[in-house]
Amino acid sequence: MSYSFSMLCKNVVVPLFLIGLVTLLCVANAKPATFLQDFHVTWSDSHIKQLDGGMGIQLLLDQNSGCGFASKNKYLFGRVSMKIKLVPGDSAGTVTAFYMNSDTDNVRDELDFEFLGNRSGQPYSVQTNVYAHGKGDKEQRINLWFDPSADFHSYSILWNHRHVVFSVDDVPIRVYKNNEAKGLPYPKFQPMGIYSTLWEADDWATRGGLEKIDWNKAPFYAYYKDFDIEGCPAPGPSACASNPTNWWEGSSYQQLDSVAARRYRWVRMNHMVYDYCTDKQRNPVTPPECLDGI
């Protein structure tokens, strides 16, 4: 949240005699962000509705349009999260996306969550992808182990100098490591904005485009709340992004702990349905970053 209290209270360094005062101020001022504090509508304003005094929003997709929003600032490293309730029922052909993007054309960096709609009764899939310096095609896809349209669930991206971790309800579903030592690009120079969209993609989203949108079921709705951005805003002090005292650069965030690693293996063993690393048709030679373990 652009150096709001929730961010400062986690990162501020103060003299020992002031810690108690800062703690009291942080607790007293701690509150969730409203949508308009950190975001603005990017397209189809009529299809985005604020709820609960701006504490939540509703996105709408119909035959006329989808919609989208973006953060007012870009950030270099940190953690972003939102709680989302996805399109219920027959959502085949719809995509709800939550992602970070440097918006720099052919050399863009991007970190993607894409929630792929389904026919009623089928599992909801989430696809992740990573672009570094314009190089992408690193899709992985898992089936979620719950119904994400029945209630809100938390989706987050942790991004530091060591790795990127995509998590669902604090369960890591993907880890993308910094492999610059192997000559591979890693997103660390370009600030990224936070974006979300609800749109029609029935040419590929559900079973490779076999399942089309049933417009008789429209309009389609997705809901968001608990927006949280903690990172170094850009433009901002250049020292911020390289500051080793930022909480997301701390030793406990440099690798998965034993509990998170066990959950990560469980997801990949039981819920992964596609991994570019093992797609021999696309990648006859295993990409070098895929040879790394957790």
pLDDT in tens, 57-71: 999 999 999 999 999
* SS3 (DSSP) at 32: coil
Question: Which amino acid is located at 138 in the chain?
Answer: K
Which pLDDT tens digit goes with each residue over 190-220? 999 999 999 988 776 666 766 788 999 999 9
Look at residue 20 and tell me whether its pLDDT is greater than 80. no
Q: Confirm if 206 and 141 have CB atoms less than 8 A apart.
A: no
Residues known to be catalytic: 110, 114
Q: Which domains does the chain possess?
A: 1-31 (no CATH), 32-291 (2.60.120.200)
Which pLDDT tens digit goes with each residue over 168-188? 999 999 999 999 999 999 999
Q: Six-digit token pair at 225? A: 């709340």
Which pLDDT tens digit goes with each residue over 43-59? 999 999 999 999 999 99
Which helix (H) or strand (E) segment holds residue 289: the answer is none
What pLDDT score does 74 carry? 96
Nearest to 57 by CA among 29, 90, 72, 35: 35
DSSP 251: G
What pLDDT score does 37 carry? 93
Question: Other CB atoms closer than 10 Å to residue 50's CB: what's the count?
Answer: 14
Look at residue 80 and tell me whether its pLDDT is greater than 90. yes
What pLDDT score does 105 carry? 83
CA 251 to chain centre: 22
Look at residue 116 and tell me whether its pLDDT is greater than 80. yes
User: Considering the chain, what is the average pLDDT of its residues?
Assistant: 88
Look at residue 120 and tell me whether its pLDDT is greater than 90. no
Q: Six-digit token pair at 47? A: 């299809």
What pLDDT score does 235 carry? 85
What pLDDT score does 195 carry? 97
Question: Other CB atoms closer than 10 Å to residue 188's CB: what's the count?
Answer: 17
What pLDDT score does 34 carry? 86
